[in-house]
Structure 1
Amino acid sequence: MLAKKILRAIENTEMAVFAQDLNLRYSWVSNAGHSWLADASEGASDADILAEASAKRSTEMKNEVLSAGRAMRYEMAISQGNQTRWYDICVDVDRDENGEPCGIIGTSFDITDQKRREETLKTLLRELSHRSKNLLAIIQSLASQTARHSLTVPEFLVRFRGRIQSLSYSQDIVTDADWRGADLESLVTTQVERYAPDGMDQIEFRPTDVYLSPTASLHVGLALHELAVNAASYGSLSVPGGKVLIDARLEDEGAERVLIIVWQERGGPRVRAERDPRFGTSTLERIVPNAVGGEARLEYLAEGIRYTLVVPEAQFEVMHARGGE
């Protein structure tokens, strides 16, 4: 009666229970379901129900249990149809009423979901390590560029702190999206709005529904930061009535679709033709386009600075196509 209740209880689990004789022929199987034991009819061996390599390993383990007289536990990956499933198998010596070995008794538990979670965690840890190294490389590059164009230590600290903070804001968006990336609108709001005295009233944003990759998110965020800081200090965001137009559109360039982001300032002080080396030109013209594998152009127009960044298709994902695109 107790045995029946135990077997009934395991019917609601992923566990199968089995017994084999001394010749490792199956005597009975309970709760096999769709597991590798589903075809283990009475008298069958592992060679009859498993692929050659799996059957050989299973037989070796069970013979070792019979030889050593003690229980053993092992994991086995078994191909079932077009997928591989993992099982945690525990086998022990089965004994008769006199205590003599009469075969094998064991359990098999499906641990496929656990294995998948473990693999996902390993993948995430590898990705985290990779992205951490990338982030450190970005910080190192920013430190070098900031130091090269800073005249004093206080100036370096202010500029470098601002750039690190910009990375932090973009990184928060990427992390909140499970490392998928960031949408352009969130980057604009986070990186630009706080530098505009009248907030988004001074920003005319024409978005397109794209999701930038983590790498593109960090670097596009950094470019927006550099442009916003300069606009707030010397450009259109430094005077009442000044405006910034940010236009994002998708275009086809040959066989590839690209994202074109244009920053255009209007209504600000007249721009001088000569460049200020302390303005983040290295970041905008070299670091950012190189990081995303695209192109960039920084123009000092009389009515205001224009910055154009071309982002290749590999660095973004189109979410909801707009009419006409």
Structure 2
Amino acid sequence: MPALVDLGASVIIQNLDRNYLFVTNLPTVWSGGLGESPSDLSLFGPEISERLRLLKDGLTEHGQKKHIEISVNSDEIYEFRVQAVAMGASGIHLVTTIVDRSEERHRERLLRALLREVSHRSKNLLAIIQSIALQTARYSVTLDMFLNKFRGRLYSLSQSQDLITDSSWRGAYFFELVRQQTEKYLPENQKLVRVTGDDVLLSPNASLHLGLALHELIVNAVSHGSLIKTGRSISVSCNRVLANGQDSLEVRWDEGLAMQASRLEAREDDTLKAHFGSTVLERVVPASVNGKAHYVISPDRISYSLVFPIEHTSE
């Protein structure tokens, strides 16, 4: 019994007539009922005492035991364990231990809530991956082209997801998202991407999809732009704006092109945009954040803007 008390358990000993012979360490919520002749009714009240009566009925042989959990004041949970114990010549007695399970059950509820949240987010992520796979396959001429683009987009998702996880699922800051999505392609030229504006904490959903847009843009810049060849920097910005009466964010990307104007003019605009990943930039990303995108490829520049409601971000 001292060991049980040290563990924070309460101990009650009764004979088979339910008379109290010993009680110690009773939780504060019930200790007010202690008197010269305590009983289940005086200590725990009519509702709990009736539950205990039903629990103890039939415990007449050594080793028999039962248990129940009882909630008190909505946030306290106690486990009652009752066991029939033979005590020599004194015969069978009922030993009840009461253990506070409140913290343990709270952790379990929190864990279940987290698991539900992880499941929900995993389903969203799988839906994003499915959409990326479909759009990538639609505009890929060969299997190698599909695999190359799809792997890059998956890597972009994983990088953004790392930021979200590190922030305890709050999201990702814009400046860090840009740095993370571009540094892989510019390991020695990170200064060529100049980031300005508001360093907003984006929601998890916005972080994932904006990360995809940045991935498409930086891959295009490295493959077709003037980024490394001329050393002209890319301008990336994020600013709070008012759009359609809503507080919104406007993300802008502006880069110069190394491609000759004649080469650009010789190609159909739709073909050129498909080659530059416009499906992700103009459809997938804006639809996912309830926003609008404007993507322009001119003979000397590529510009991209995305405007979406601020309600899709977290402060």
TM-score interval w.r.t. the shorter chain? Answer: 0.7 to 0.9
The one-character-per-residue Cα deviations of 1:180-216 (angstroms, maximum 9, x if unpaired) are 3222222111111232375221111125343223222
Check 1:24–1:285 CA distance in 2 against 1; reply closer, same or farther (3 A cut): farther
| Rounded Cα–Cα distance in structure 2 between residues aligned with 1:255 and 1:108 | 59
**Number of the residue aligned with 1:39:** 32
Matched, 1:79 2:72: yes
Q: Which one of the candidate residues 58, 62, 65 is aligned to 2:59?
A: 65
Query: Is the Cα–Cα contact under 8 Å of residues 270 and 302 in structure 1 kept in the other structure?
Result: yes
The share of aligned pairs that are identical, in percent, is 35
**Number of the residue aligned with 1:143:** 133
**Number of the residue aligned with 1:14:** 8
Aligned residues: 307
Amino acid at match of 2:23: V
Query: Is the Cα–Cα contact under 8 Å of residues 215 and 292 in structure 1 kept in the other structure?
Result: yes
Query: Is the Cα–Cα contact under 8 Å of residues 224 and 257 in structure 2 kept in the other structure?
Result: no
| Rounded Cα–Cα distance in structure 1 between residues aligned with 2:153 and 2:207 | 14
Query: Is the Cα–Cα contact under 8 Å of residues 71 and 90 in structure 1 kept in the other structure?
Result: no
Q: Which one of the candidate residues 72, 83, 89 is aligned to 1:98?
A: 89
Check 1:125–1:197 CA distance in 2 against 1; reply closer, same or farther (3 A cut): closer
Matched, 1:130 2:127: no
Shift of residue 14 of structure 1? 2.4
Q: Which one of the candidate residues 154, 179, 192 is aligned to 1:189?
A: 179
**Number of the residue aligned with 2:211:** 221
Matched, 1:88 2:79: yes
Amino acid at match of 1:294: G
What are the equivalent positions in structure 2 for 1:228-243 lying under 5 Å apart?
228-243=218-233
Which sections of structure 2, spanning at least 5 residues, go unmatched? none
SS of residue in 2 equivalent to 1:65: coil
**Number of the residue aligned with 2:313:** 316
Tell me the TM-score normalized by structure 2. 0.83
| Rounded Cα–Cα distance in structure 2 between residues aligned with 1:91 and 1:150 | 69
Query: Is the Cα–Cα contact under 8 Å of residues 206 and 246 in structure 1 kept in the other structure?
Result: yes
The one-character-per-residue Cα deviations of 1:156-195 (angstroms, maximum 9, x if unpaired) are 1211111111112122222333333222222111111232
Which sections of structure 1, spanning at least 5 residues, go unmatched? 1-5, 319-325
**Number of the residue aligned with 1:285:** 282
**Number of the residue aligned with 1:172:** 162
Matched, 1:208 2:198: yes
The one-character-per-residue Cα deviations of 1:236-281 (angstroms, maximum 9, x if unpaired) are 4253222211111233557753332222224755775724223221
RMSD: 2.9
| Rounded Cα–Cα distance in structure 2 between residues aligned with 1:71 and 1:23 | 17
The one-character-per-residue Cα deviations of 1:10-42 (angstroms, maximum 9, x if unpaired) are 5543211123454546554312243x4433414
Shift of residue 229 of structure 1? 0.8
The one-character-per-residue Cα deviations of 1:142-165 (angstroms, maximum 9, x if unpaired) are 111111111122211211111111
| Rounded Cα–Cα distance in structure 2 between residues aligned with 1:89 and 1:235 | 72
